[in-house]
Amino acid sequence: MKIAVIGGVAAGTSAAARASRVEPEAEIVLFEKNKTISYAGCGLPYYISGVTTERSQLIMNTPEEFQENYGVEVRISHEVTAIYPEEKTLEFEDLVADRIGQEEYDKLIIATGARPMMPPIPGINFERVLPLRTVEDGDRIKRLSGDQNVKNVVIVGGGYIGLEMAEAFDRLGMEISLIEMQENVMPLVNRELAAKIEKHLQEKGINLITGEAVKEFVGDGDVSGVITDQDREIPADLVLFAIGVRPDTELAAEAGVELGVRNAIRVNHRMETNLRDHYACGDCAESINLVSNKPTWVPLGSTANKQGRVAGGNAAGGSNSHFGVLGTAITKVFDLTIATTGIKEEEAEEAGFSPVSLTVNVPNHAGYYPGFKNFVLRGVFDRNSGRLLGAEALGKSGVNKRIDVLASAIYSELTADDLFQLDLSYAPPYSTPKDAVAILGMVAGKKI
């Protein structure tokens, strides 16, 4: 049996590695158009800032290591340009040798990922207007950040990447402006929490502009400024364009693979597409939201790893399932940690729930122990059943532990009363006798 994998990084390499374990006799070939196949994309901001000191620390496997460890033939700088599902062949271009070739397969795994959104704004093709998606992107931004002539940085987009890179550029001593088209940064969280993030950014000296979109990048030969739709001009020696990503699914669609939500590839719980023996996984594939039970698209490395493992195992003859996602995510912005899981009020209503939401200020640990800080915990519950549907947290300490407990609670369909009853660990450096999660459940139970 021959298994072809299109794309590396989290999903493609997970799929190839799992397939090699399930069926050691399978012939597996992985095509990757870039030179790196397995890297920690989420670590790029820390590499650029110097927190992560060596580029090699981000590389999980070199092509040679992966090939040796898993018996997978790795072809870097090979871009797949067409899939012919009836013939079970694909066409590729060797970007180094500049030649076209074909490859036959019995099973195909599509892990083409997502690509940065780069709309046709005048000047967006300037050399110093860059996205951050690949190691190569990180290398370019790090090189430019070290240029003494690069002092003013404009970040377009106030999502995860934009906020993490604001801290990264600040560590490098740059003057930073951040533009977000929506009224608040981090549109994925409640406005009350977003306002706290914005205040923190301004306290750190970030020039924050919300409710304005970029109209044009200006410059003579390269970017020197950004003009918004309110005709505000901001000086820029470097622009990080981070308004989001979209599934890279044109190749699959041209082959007859059905697309679903947000034009991600429609798959079932086995990661099978509508075409027999053709699988998809990672940032190019949709998933199921475990609360609303509706298709969703969540481009996260954790999801990509799970989906890749399922797709690879099944392509090799196994029987595995990917149950779905909650969209659990967390990020650090200077001194704050922001995290979210589950669904928001609007999604809950659309899914047929009767949502009740509340926000509580809770202690990270005992007040008499050094480092005491309150943080914000927000929950969305169903009024009829008391079930926890979603949660958000923001603070300087204690966030990561609680969001993971709450994600587990949502997964297990626990109620407000269940949260109060959970037997969570307690010691003064870590919690209070009545943990933050228990407090949320107690207050929610009263409100319901």
User: Span 378-395, mean pLDDT?
Assistant: 98
Going by C-alpha positions, the residue among 200, 194, 193, 197 that lies closest to residue 379 is: 193
Radius of gyration of the chain (CA): 23
Tell me the average pLDDT of the chain.
Answer: 97
- Could you give the residue range(s) of every CATH 3.30.390.30 domain in the chain? 338-447
- Could you give the residue range(s) of every CATH 3.50.50.60 domain in the chain? 2-115+245-315, 118-241
Question: May I ask the CATH architecture of the domain 2-115+245-315?
Answer: 3-Layer(bba) Sandwich (3.50)
pLDDT for 323: 96
Q: Where are the alpha helices (DSSP H) in 173-290?
A: 191-203, 250-254
pLDDT at residue 273 greater than cutoff 90: yes
Give the β-pairing of 278-280 and 107-110: parallel
Model confidence over 315-339: pLDDT tens digits?
999 999 999 999 999 999 999 999 9
Cβ proximity of 2 and 49 under 8 Å: no
Going by C-alpha positions, the residue among 397, 394, 401 that lies closest to residue 360 is: 394
pLDDT at residue 415 greater than cutoff 90: yes
Told to judge if 42 belongs to the known catalytic residues of this protein, a careful annotator would answer yes
- Provide the token pair at 20: 């090699």
Question: May I ask the CATH architecture of the domain 338-447?
Answer: 2-Layer Sandwich (3.30)
Model confidence over 22-57: pLDDT tens digits?
999 999 999 999 999 999 999 999 999 999 999 999
Q: Residue 446: which pLDDT band, with cuts at 50, 70 and 90?
A: very high
Q: Which CATH superfamily is domain 118-241 in?
A: FAD/NAD(P)-binding domain (3.50.50.60)
E-state strands within 172-319? 175-180, 207-210, 214-218, 225-228, 233-235, 238-241, 245-247, 278-280, 287-288, 295-296
**How far is Cα 433 from Cα 428, in angstroms, rounded to an integer?**
8
pLDDT for 206: 98
pLDDT at residue 221 greater than cutoff 90: no
**How far is Cα 18 from Cα 21, in angstroms, rounded to an integer?**
5
Which residues, in sequence order, are CB contacts of 311 under 8 Å at separation 6+?
11, 15, 109, 111, 271, 279, 280, 281
* Rounded percentage of the chain residues whose pLDDT exceeds 90: 99
Model confidence over 252-271: pLDDT tens digits?
999 999 999 999 999 999 99
pLDDT at residue 192 greater than cutoff 90: yes
| Residue tagged active-site, from 2, 21, 40, 42 | 42
Backbone angles phi, psi at 313, to 5 degrees: -65, -45
